Amino acid sequence: MKVVGLLLPLALALAAQVASAPLSSQNGPALPIVQPRAVTLAPINTTGPTEGWTDGVSHEDSIYQEWPIDEDGLTYIRWCYEFADMDTQASRWFVDGAITMWGRALGQAGRHNGHRLLFKQVAKGCRYKDPNTGREEWDDNVEHDTLVISDTPMHGSHPHGTMGYLGIEYSGEPGRHHINFNHRSLNQDQVYLIAHEIGRYCAYYVLSYPS
């Protein structure tokens, strides 16, 4: 089964409902399973990954592709912090909390729940500063399509990121998928803002389970 046109509205609806559910703590009561509802989509954009716009995967000129499926039939959202020193307890409150919100809302990946989405941290930092040159370098052990999560004051008070999966045909450059935020500007009950960005990033295909 190949799901195209209906999956994006479903993903965005799920993101909206996950974002509306507060997370008191990672060990709190399980959130209710959400049900998709109708949403209004922004105009189609095919010129680039403009933040805040949507694009149908099935569109002839779309820059987005189907999410890669591993040999086990699941789609892993591989992620890491931009730099290892961003992986702090304060930042984890928001990142781990947001991933937990999605896990509670969707349930375990598999045919029984109708989705194949899993998150996997592959390194503490995707980039590092070369001690000899002082230049920022990409870790060769990290795949180029890995989601980069950057937590720094330079990102201001509004979390933002790319949307959907950008294939190598669009750009083979490392770090083309990213979510940026500044935990210092957020209250602890605003985990849903990061969950919303994760929902936008995972907007295509990950909520389908091929037959």
Amino acid 9: pLDDT: 41
* pTM, to two decimals: 0.72
Closest by alpha carbon to 205, among 104, 115, 92, 130? 115
Share of residues in the chain with pLDDT > 90 (%): 39
State residue 207's pLDDT score. 52
**Per-residue pLDDT band at 68 (split at 50, 70, 90):** confident
pLDDT of residue 67: 78
Among the listed ranges 72-76, 102-106, 165-169, 179-183, which one has the minimum average pLDDT value? 165-169
- Tens digit of pLDDT for each residue in 145-164? 999 999 999 998 899 988 88
The span from the CA of 70 to the CA of 205, in Å, is 13
pLDDT computed for residue 35 by the predictor: 32
pLDDT at 182: 96
pLDDT by residue (tens digit) across 114-143?
A: 788 889 999 999 999 999 999 999 999 999
Range scoring the smallest mean pLDDT among 110-119, 162-171, 187-196: 162-171
User: pLDDT confidence of 89, banded at 50, 70, 90?
Assistant: very high
Angle subtended by helix axes 7-19 and 191-201, to nearest 10: 170
CA 211 to chain centre: 24
Q: How many CB atoms lie within 10 A of CB 180?
A: 20
- The Cα–Cα gap between 56 and 143 comes to 25
pLDDT at residue 58, rounded to an integer: 52
